[in-house]
Amino acid sequence: MDKSVPNDWSVEIVTNGPYGQILYHEGSDGTSFFWQFGGGDIVAIVHVDPAQGWNEKYPWAAGRRREVLGRMIEEVIRKKAPTCTADVDETSGVICLRERKQTD
């Protein structure tokens, strides 16, 4: 059986007022993450599953949490928040998309 990582992945961002979902699809598998607008220099907050329990909940992505989240973060920044960087709290599963500080 082939255990290679699929190259056919995609990220869809669903907006419902000040919050929504980020849908990550990989082959026939996928997951969704809740997001909401932030305040101050935090443009948005994304809530993902914490590292503990990831492999059991998503056996199709076992050992690849950082890869999946990295793909999702890159696509969200590319599509909706090009002036932001991501701060990831691995323990809680909270990702803050923060406006980049301007340099002179």
Q: What is the pLDDT of residues 49-104, one digit of tens each?
A: 999 999 999 999 999 999 999 999 999 999 999 999 999 998 889 999 999 887 65
Work out the number of other CB atoms within 10 angstroms of the CB of residue 90: 14
Taking the C-alpha atoms of residue 9 and residue 31, their distance in angstroms, rounded to an integer, is: 11
What is the Cα gyration radius of the chain?
14
Taking the C-alpha atoms of residue 80 and residue 90, their distance in angstroms, rounded to an integer, is: 22
Taking the C-alpha atoms of residue 90 and residue 13, their distance in angstroms, rounded to an integer, is: 22
* Global pTM value: 0.88
Residue 31 phi/psi, 5-degree rounding, is -155, 170
